[in-house]
Amino acid sequence: MDQWDCIIVGAGPAGLSAALYLARFRRRVLVVHDGRSRALRIPVTHNVPGFPDGVEGPALVARMTRHAERYGAVVREGEVVQAAAGGPGFILTLAGSREQLRARSLVLATGLYMEQVPLDDGVHEAAIGAGILRYCPVCDGYEHIDERIGVIGSDGHGANEALFLRRFSADITLVPLNSSELDPRDRTRLQRAGIAVVDRPVIHHAPRGDCYQVQIEGDEAPLSFDVVYPALGVRQRVELAVMLGLELGEEGTTHARSPLGTDVPGLYCAGDIVEGLDQISVAMGHGALAATRAHNWLREREPPTFDTAPGVPERVKGGLDQHATGEPP
């Protein structure tokens, strides 16, 4: 059975960055993904450094895939349903196949699931494409300056999101999906910020042309917004991490340091699966860290070569580690 230096599960910004680095370290690297990168759903992103005119999510993923492949990374589609640490290394099983994949090291860049508003898939994705349904105020709040903004989800998370968006518009309304669970402190903060709070639940969602309507129980006419942000939470795709025995944080994420290594030797995590800010640039940085750490980990277990033999200035070897950890020399 073929043994890869590293398998990366996930072909989003985290996995593809890790693949690029490992391929350029001349590692045999395989990327496996099931076609569900969140980046593929981005109509246009305006906060990825280096793209002043914005870039479409699918175009960015295609460029990153091409970039990694140019240096020899192999990218293939498939859902990984089993992961085990076996022998030295890892064994992965794909859905609908007896084939097993083996690697000496593993990077999990499996992203997350978003809790979504109840709309048919096609309608939902069209609303995202039209920019009237958004899931990431950090990403695109700027695109909605002075617009009518609805936030769906009346709890502490929804309140925080509404308060964050207040910087961009004075016309913000917080509505519950089902029931309101705002505590008095959040209510006061919202009131002080001039954010309207509706306490009755939404009974119908209807994207209409260039606006998004929500029908509130008991109201005759729907509320109409230029954009709606559901603040309903996320679930990290940690099934494989759990199979491999990783401990999760309170929010269901892997540890903030997991791009640098985990309790499972040879296992690294990157991107949205990791505790922290769920953003493309962060995912790219994690990918670079995880790849460099994985490469060093492999080097330490290999027979001495020109780059590990005694005589190589310590500064060079140490330099790579310092860059990877961000720790002072």
Binding site for ligand FAD (CB under 6 A): 9-15, 32-39, 41-42, 45, 47, 79-80, 109-111, 128, 135-136, 139-140, 237, 240, 271-272, 278-281, 283
Cα dist. 166→157, 160, 161, 283, 284 in Å? 14, 10, 9, 27, 29
User: Please, which residues bridge with residue 216 across strands?
Assistant: 202
Q: How far is the CB of 305 from ligand FAD (least distance, A)?
A: 31
One-letter amino acid of 173: T
Nearer to ligand FAD, 76 or 301 (CB): 76
Residue 291 amino acid letter: A
CB of 249 to ligand FAD, least distance (A): 16
Please report how close the Cβ of residue 217 comes to ligand FAD at its closest, in angstroms.
28
CB of 231 closer than 8 Å to CB of 159: no
Q: How far is it, in rounded angstroms, from Cα 208 to Cα 272? A: 31
Measured distance CA(158)–CA(162) in Å, rounded: 6
Nearer to ligand FAD, 81 or 196 (CB): 81
For ligand FAD, which is the closer residue by CB, 245 or 319? 245
**Closest CB to ligand FAD among residues 141, 222:** 141
Contacts of 158 (CB under 8 A, 6+ apart): 151, 152, 174, 176, 182, 231
Nearer to ligand FAD, 22 or 39 (CB): 39
**Nearest distance from C-beta of residue 181 to ligand FAD, angstroms:** 24
Q: Which is nearer to ligand FAD, 40 or 206 (CB)?
A: 40
**CA terminus-to-terminus distance, the chain:** 41
Distance CA 256, CA 249 (A): 9
Q: Smallest distance, Å, CB 69 to ligand FAD? A: 15
Q: How far is the CB of 254 from ligand FAD (least distance, A)?
A: 11
Minimum distance from CB of 120 to ligand FAD (Å)? 17
**Residue with smaller CB distance to ligand FAD, 180 or 292:** 292
- Where b means 16+ CB within 10 Å and e means fewer, 243-271 reads ebebeeeeebbbbeebbbbbeeebbbbbb
Alpha helices in 9-141 (DSSP H): 13-24, 57-70, 121-129, 137-140
